[in-house]
Chain A
Amino acid sequence: MRIRKELFADERRDDFREVGVGRQRADALGHVTARSQYYDDRRIAGMLHMKLVRSPHHHARIRAIDMSAAERLPGVKRIITAKDVPNNLYTVLALINVGIPDEPALAFDKVRYKGEPIVAVVADSERAACEAVARVRVDYDPLAAVFDVEDALKSGAPLVNEYHGRNTFNYEGRDHQRVRFGDVERAFAQADHVIEERYQMSPIEHAPTEPQGCIAVPADDHRITCYTNTQALFFSLDVTAMILKVSPDKLHFIGGTVGGGFGGKVDTLVEPLCILGAMLTNRPVRLAFSREEEMQAGPPRGAERIFIKDGVMKDGRIVARYMRIYEDSGAYSRLSPYGAVKAAAHCPGPYSIPNVFCDAYCVYTNRTPSTAMRGFGVTASDFAIEVQMDKLARLVGMNPFEFRILNAYRDGDTKAHRKKTEGAALIECVLAAADLANVPIADSYRTMSSRQGGGAAPGAMPATPPARPQPGVQRPAAGDRLASIFGERRR
């Protein structure tokens, strides 16, 4: 890996003693000697084990729960249902005052996704807990389920989450988060080419090698200590306090060394029930997801369906971008309402486009609730945007690198969110990558930069497309630039 120190050198000091040095990691020795202590690398005397009864149905009413056979099993200490949870209905985003309580810690009247937890069993061994789980009998009335985000929005679709009253999150009276900048319809009418495409990302599992879990231990001071692999210590502590209706200072969370997270260890799915188990039995309790639970009951990256419609001029300038984003939240909100806003915030990508329209929906379906994952609100959009950019570049016959540079945002440009662009560096990255890949770039593009006025800079964006190309920028004939980039690569 090389650092191109000469770029932006005038904006930096490079004379630090520690910063910029490739020092050995603080945890390197711990990792190679197995002295790094993960939450589960401790055994506490008298520890009990919790396992969860999960719904086999995507959507069903719960008619009855029969725990008698499970209760009789030797080794079973306590069986916990919804009525044992002090504040069973919650939403994690309540901590930042977003959303409404829409998810039960343990289901009571309905299950809304396959894998939803209904009963928690605490036993003196994992084996006894698993056997007890198998003996809990739940009677269900299956209900019609909806799995497709656009189907979920149609009238007559099964209602996934009654707390929302419809299958979309309510953004202050609207069913979507919006961005409105300029006038896309007018720009489309004046554009030389208009294309509309559809993109789809299916759910993706975080798959950290360490599954989520925690150990809750009654402490010496009427508090509970919880060893956990959460990615957000106080966030999880506060969610737990909210669900268990205890003062947060009653909880002592210890963690900090986690075997991978990637966003999947924020939802706080183990601590509340595990700590409740410890409180009710007055014994240490461990709750750890199996790999199968991690894969299918634990939250995935939410699927997204994205429609992008772009208007582009013959000279390569994108004059309008319309994006409609459907984020598949699954059965409950979790972090998805925030994710849809982040998706709206990310559009139209790092480009100065004078007319931008975005509607981002957070949609409920009968699947495992989704959550943040590396690139939350962005990954699907970047997939869609950058494939779209490739389509546009080929449509106008431009080298894809030069096409990016032409449309790239520059310092001083007004973004679709009405903020001034600062600290842009897309152009420099594109040029640096082109150099690395030996891609020829025309001189007129090589001299462009992200800094204010840095070559063919769009500057203050007009609301309508320009009448003619900007002076000073070469416009290649359709097709020839493309051939010279990729010619040597084709057979």
Chain B
Amino acid sequence: MQTPVQFRLNDEERAEFVDSGARLLGLLRDKVGVTSPKSGCQQGTCGCCTVLIDGAPYLSCLVLAETCAGKSIETVEGLAKGTAYHPLQLAFMEHFAAQCGYCTSGMLMAAKALLDRNANPTRADVIDAICGNVCRCTGYQPIIEAILAAAKRGVARTA
């Protein structure tokens, strides 16, 4: 028995039918075709599936798709505005903050959630924001530096 769910995804209206018990991660990747949130553990312990729901970071592998009705979901696919990349995307590139790239989507969204509510985070704030995101390659320091640099550059942009 499927349930219709209407929600906003990266500022666009979407409507999908979902199985009861289906998770948001599966809905996004398998039905909608948005593959930025990655499946790392399917149990909420790695952060690779992090998306924003109404501005707050969530582990989409643990979110029931049905509960997203009426919510606004943001993923990496919505970060760039046309040819203007988000300061976080630019900073991650400039600071060599990605190696295999598998944790990057989750890191970007966790970082965006932070910078959207705190434009001037301390290093401790950044660490707190990403401590639920596992990275196996970089040793975290380049990611922290990238997020601080993006904050400095300023995330306020024309929409």
Contacts and interface: CB of A to CB of B under 8 A. Distances in A.
Interface string A14-47: 0000000000110111111110111011010000
Contacts of B43: 291
Nearest to B104: A31
A45 B96 CA distance: 36
A76 B63 CA distance: 27
B60 interface: no
B136 A207 contact: yes
Say which size band chain A's interface belongs to.
20 to 34
Interface in B54-104: 75-77, 79-80, 85, 88-89, 92-93, 96, 98, 100-104
A215 B116 CA distance: 38
Contacts of B105: 34
B100 A210 contact: yes
A209 B50 CA distance: 13
B40 A28 contact: no
- Secondary structure at the B interface, as helix, strand, loop or mixed, is loop
Nearest to A31: B101
A209 B135 contact: yes
Interface stretch (A233-241, A255-263, A308-316, A480-488): A255-263
Interface in B21-47: 29-30, 33, 35-36, 38-43, 45-46
A208 B77 contact: no
Given A33-B76, A41-B35, A291-B42, A262 B98 contact: no
B39 A40 contact: yes
B100 A209 contact: yes
A211 interface: yes
Contact of B96 (A25, A41, A43, A207): A25
Contacts of B104: 31-32, 34
Nearest to A258: B100
A209 B42 CA distance: 11
B96 A259 contact: no
Given A25-B96, A32-B85, A209-B103, A290 B136 contact: no
Contacts of A25: 93, 96, 98
B96 A33 contact: no
A36 B101 contact: yes
B98 A32 contact: yes
Interface string A213-242: 000000000000000000000000000000
A249 to B, nearest CB: 30
Contacts of A40: 39
Contact of A43 (B33, B79, B93): B33
Contacts of B100: 208-210, 258-260
Nearest to B80: A33
B156 interface: no
A32 B48 contact: no
Contact of A290 (B33, B38, B42): B42
Interface in A355-392: none
A55 B40 CA distance: 24
B149 interface: no
B46 A24 contact: no
B76 A209 contact: no
B108 interface: yes
Interface of A: 24-25, 27-34, 36-38, 40-41, 43, 207-211, 257-260, 262, 288, 290-291
Which 4 residue pairs are nearest across A and B when measured between Cβ atoms? A259-B102, A31-B101, A34-B36, A291-B41
10 contacts: A25-B93, A28-B98, A32-B76, A37-B35, A40-B39, A207-B134, A207-B136, A209-B38, A260-B136, A291-B45
